[in-house]
Structure 1
Amino acid sequence: MQQEGLMMRLSLALAVCLLGAVPGALRAQDEAGRDPTDTVKAAETKFPNNIAGEFTPAKGFDLAKTKMASLNISFYGLFRYMNQLPGNQTFVDHLGRVRQVKTRNDLNWHRTFVWLTGFFYVPKFRYNISLWSLPTTQQTLLFGNLQYRFNTAATLGVGIAPNLTVRSVQGSWPFWGSSDRQMSEDFFRGGFSSGVFLTGQPIRRWFYNLSVNTNISQLGVTASNDTRDFAYSASVWTMPTTGEFGPRGGLGDLEYHRTVATRFGASIGHSREARYANDSVPPNATQIKLSDGVNPFDAGALAPGATVQKLDYDEIAFDAGLKYRGFTFQGEYYVRKLSNFLATGALPLSSIVDQGFQVQGMHMVVPKKVAVYATYGYLADKFRRYPWELSGGVSVYPSGTRSWRLNLHLIRIERSPAASNFGFYTAGQSGTTISLGTDILL
C-alpha cells in the first residue's frame, strides 16, 4: 500500500508539472498530505554541485519526498533586449577578406530552464532531468545526468556535463555580472557534451573535477556525426581562507563576507575536434572560433581552397578571486592552442596559439539590493588583431536575493573574436552593445 501511495503521489506531481502550475501549498517547506513518518525519516539530499554548470537547478519546490525517492521542480527564465551597434558594419578577417558583421537588435524571451531533480532508492543516488529552451535560436532540448555520491571526496556522474576549460562552466551560472559570459571566457571555453565525470573534495578546502566527454560541444552534433575521439578535461581549486566563495561561486557579494573569501584554481582541456559534417556542407562544429570570429572548420577559413577537417584543441586557464564586505574581484588567464590540422589543402601554419585574460569587479552599493560592476578582457592572438572589451552595468535585486534580477549591461568592444546567438557577441563587431534584461531563478 505504501508503494501504491508513493506512485500516486509521484503521478500527481508529474501531472502538476505538465499543467505548468505549482500550487502555493507545494512550497519547499510544506509537506502537507504526505505520510509524516516518511517525511521525517527521509534523508537530507542537498549536495554542493560543482560540475553541472548551466544545468545546476536552484532550491526549487519539493513536490514529493519519502524514504525511497524525492522529486523537486526548479526553473529559470530570462527576457532580454539587446542592441549591437553600429547596425551596419563590416570587418576584415586575418586573410584580408571583407565580411559582414551580423548585428542584432531584438526583444526576446531568451532562455528557459526547467529542472526535475531528486534521489531514488538511496539519497546518494541523484538524478537531474533538464528542459532547456532558447527561443532566440528555436532550440529546445531535454537531457539530464545521474550522480552517485560515495563520500565527500568522490561523486561519480554520467550525462550532459561541461568541458572543464574555464571556471564559469563549473556551476556559477547565472550568478554573473549580467546574464551571459564575457568576451574572453566565451572565446576560450569549451562547451557541454555527454560524458562521465568525477568530482569531490579530497582534503579540506581543496576540490577537483575530472571529465571525459564525447566532444567539446554536443550542440548541433548527432551520434552519426561523431568521431572515435573523446574530449578530456580537469579542474582543481582551493578556497583557503573560508572554504567557500558564496552561492555557486559566482560574482557578487550579496552575502557580505566579513572575512576575506578567496579562491584559486586551474582548468585544462584537450580534444581532437572534427567539423562533424561532409566537406560539401557547413560544419556542425561551432564551438571553436579563430581570433577574427571565423569558424576554423568553415571552407577557406585558414587558406583559400582548403577546408580543415580535424584539429587538436588544447587549453589551460588560471583563475583567482576574492570577496569582502560587498566587494568582489576575480580574474582568469587563458592559453589556447589549435594544432595538428587535417585539411583538404595546404595551410600556411601548423599551429595557432592565442592568449588572453579577463578581470571583473563588483560592489554592492546598496547591500542586497543594488550592485555595480565592470569587466575588462583582452586577447594577444596569433593574427595580431588584439581584440578587447570594456563592459559594465548595474544589477538590481528587488527581493533582496539572487532569485530575481533586473540588469543593465553595456559593452564597448573592438574586433570581437567571440560569436554566438546565445550571448552578447557577434564576429568582428567593433562598437557598443546595450542589453536590458530581467531573469528569475527559483
Structure 2
Amino acid sequence: MPITGPSFEQLLDRIDQQDRVIAELQQRLDAAPPAAGVPAWPASSSAANSAYGTSNGTNWAATGEPTCGTPKPPTVYAPLVGDADNGKCPPCGEEKKLKKQHVVTHYVGYDKGFVIKPFNSKEYPFDMKINGRIQFRYNGFARNEETWTDNAGVTREIRNRSDFDIERARLILSGTALDERSTYYLQLDGDTDGSDMVDFFDYWWAWKFSDLLQVQVGKRKVAACRAWLLSAFNTTLVDRSMATDFFRPDRTVGIWFVGDLTENMHYEAMVGNGYRTADMPLSQQNDKFAYAATQWIDLGDGAFGNSFDDYEMHDTPVMQLGHSFAAAQQGDTFGGIPLDESDFVRLSDGTVLDAPSALAPGTRVTDFDLYFYAIDAAFKYRGFAINGELCFRWIDNIGGNGPFPVDKLYDRGFYAQTSYYLVPETLYVAGRVSQVDGAYGNHYEYAGGVGWFLSGNRNQKLTFDVTVLDGSPLNNTTTDILVGDSGLLCRAQYQAMF
C-alpha cells in the first residue's frame, strides 16, 4: 500500500525543489572558466565536497597544482579550497594566519618523588619535585634516678615516660626556576613534641656558577658536624647520638657557598645570623654573625652513599674523611636578661651556661665566644660499616656580672658506631657509644638496635633500639634524650618516604 499524507507530500516537494537548485548550480559550475592555479572540476564527477576541502572522489591536490600559494597544502579538491582551520582559507596571495594552539610544555610523573618537568628544559626552565616523609615513634624511658641537680644547685625530677610521637612529618618542594642554574628548596616540618606546629624548616634559593661553586641564600643547617649534616632519615639507629646533639649547631639564615673541589672532594662554607637561631625572632638575636665550614673526601672505588650503613654492599672498601669548624660570638641582653640566642650552650652536666648562678652563686653569664671543631671518618665494605666523629668545643671570653671561677671552658666528646647487614639491603644490626666530657661532668650513652627495610628499597623502614644513659647533659625532645636522664630508653620507629 503506497504511503500518503500531507506531511509526506510536503517532504517530496522540498526534495524536488532542492534537486532543481542543485541542477542549476551544477550548470553554472560547468559553464564557469577554471580559477587561476586551480584545476577544473570534471563534468563527469558527482563527488560531494566537505567543508574541509575533502572529497569521496578523485584527489586533485595530488596533481601537485598550487593552492592559494601555500606550499604543501592540505588535501583539497576544486572548486572548494580548504585547510585545517575550520574549513576557512584566506584569499589567494594572503599570508595564512594560524590559529593559536595550547602547547603542552610539562609532564607529570614519578622519579624518587612526584615530579613536574618540562619537555624542553632550555625553553621552559621550570620544574618541581614533591617529596613526603614521616617518622612515627614509640618512646619508653625507665629512670634509675629520681632527681638530678645542676651546677646552680637546682634539683629537678627525672620522669618515667611512655608515649607515641610523630617526630618528623615533612613536605619538601624542590626544583628549578627561571634558569637551569637557579634552584630552590623548601621543607615544611611538623611534629607532636613541637606543639603540632608546622615550621618552614629549610628554604633557600641557589645559583650554580659551576661544579666548584653554588651560592645559596636562605635558611638551612649551619655547615658543621658531619652527623648533623646527615639527614635524620638516614641515621643507622632511631636518631643521632647524645654527643652529636650536645655539640652540634642548628639552622640559621645566611649565605652558603657549596661545591666540589675535585670529583670526590666536597666543601660547604657559610656566614649566618647565629650558631643556633632556628625559628628565633630577630629581637632575640644579637648583631654578630656565625661562621662555619665543612669539607670531606670520598676514598675508594664507587660512591660512598648518603648513609653510614653499607646498604649498597660495596664490593671494595670505601672511606670518607672530613672535618668541620664553626665560630660564633654570643652577647647582648634585654632588660639585663641574655637573649634567647645564647641559652643553647650547656655545661657538661647539663646546666644552661647563661642561667642564673650557673658558674657561681649570684652571677650570670651574658657574653662568650664559641668555637667548634670536629674530625670524622667512615668506612664501608660488604655490608660492614664503622664510623665516628670527635668533637671539640671551646667557650672563651666569658663575661657577665661575675666574678666567675673560670673565664673559659673546654668540652670534648665523640661517638663511634658500627653496623652489619645480616640480610643484604634488608636487615642489619648496629651498636653505638658516645661521650660528653668536660669540667662539670663526664657522661656516656650506650645503644644497640636493629634496622629493617620493608619494601626492597630505603623508602620504608622499621628501627628498634635500646639506649643506656648515665646522666644526660643533653636536652632534646627530638632524640627523646632529656637533661638529667639516667636509665633505660627504648625506641621503636616506622618511617616512610616518597
Q: 1:154 aligns with which of 204, 210, 213?
A: 213
Does 2:150 match 1:93? yes
Shift of 1:241: 1.4
Q: 1:113 aligns with which of 170, 195, 199?
A: 170
Tell me, yes or no, if the aligned pair for 2:285 and 2:339 is still in contact at 8 Å.
no
Indicate the SS of the match to 1:136: helix
Q: Which residue of 2 aligns with 1:28?
A: 110
Q: Which residue of 1 aligns with 2:475?
A: 419
Higher RCO, 1 vs 2 (CA within 8 Å, ≥6 residues apart) = 1
Q: Which residue of 2 aligns with 1:320?
A: 377
Does 2:199 match 1:141? yes
Q: Which residue of 2 aligns with 1:374?
A: 431
1:257-291 alpha-carbon deviations (Å, 9 max, x no partner): 00111011110100012477544589454432221
Q: Distance in 2 between matches of 1:2 and 1:102?
A: 68
| Paired AA for residue 167 in structure 1 | R
Per the normalisation by structure 1, the TM-score is: 0.83
Indicate the SS of the match to 2:316: coil
Q: Distance in 2 between matches of 1:435 and 1:96?
A: 32
Tell me, yes or no, if the aligned pair for 2:238 and 2:491 is still in contact at 8 Å.
no
Alignment of 1:37-48 (within 5 A): none
Count of residue correspondences: 393
Shift of 1:377: 0.9
Indicate the SS of the match to 1:224: helix
Alignment of 1:27-426 (within 5 A): 27-28=109-110, 59-65=112-118, 67-86=124-143, 89-95=146-152, 97-101=154-158, 104-138=161-195, 139-142=197-200, 143-242=202-301, 244-246=303-305, 248=306, 250-274=307-331, 278-279=335-336, 283=340, 285-383=342-440, 385-426=441-482
Q: Distance in 1 between matches of 2:102 and 2:406?
A: 65
| Paired AA for residue 438 in structure 1 | Y
Q: Distance in 2 between matches of 1:403 and 1:202?
A: 31
Q: Greater shift after overlay, 179-188 or 95-104?
A: 95-104
Q: Which residue of 2 aligns with 1:33?
A: none
| Paired AA for residue 321 in structure 2 | F
1:93-133 alpha-carbon deviations (Å, 9 max, x no partner): 24554332355321112221101111012222100111111
> Aligned pair in 2 of structure 1 residues 403, 287: CA closer, same or farther (>3 Å)?
farther
Q: Distance in 2 between matches of 1:5 and 1:341?
A: 63
Q: Distance in 1 between matches of 2:426 and 2:109?
A: 24
Point out the structure with max Rg over C-alpha.
2
Tell me, yes or no, if the aligned pair for 1:112 and 1:132 is still in contact at 8 Å.
yes
Across the aligned residues of Structure 1 and Structure 2, the Cα RMSD in angstroms comes to 2.3
Per the normalisation by structure 2, the TM-score is: 0.74
> Aligned pair in 2 of structure 1 residues 322, 307: CA closer, same or farther (>3 Å)?
same
Task: Give percent identity, aligned residues only.
Answer: 24
Q: Which residue of 2 aligns with 1:36?
A: none
Tell me, yes or no, if the aligned pair for 1:264 and 1:320 is still in contact at 8 Å.
yes
Q: Distance in 2 between matches of 1:241 and 1:298?
A: 48
> Aligned pair in 2 of structure 1 residues 243, 340: CA closer, same or farther (>3 Å)?
farther
Tell me, yes or no, if the aligned pair for 1:275 and 1:308 is still in contact at 8 Å.
no
| Paired AA for residue 236 in structure 2 | G
Tell me, yes or no, if the aligned pair for 2:272 and 2:291 is still in contact at 8 Å.
yes
Shift of 1:397: 0.6
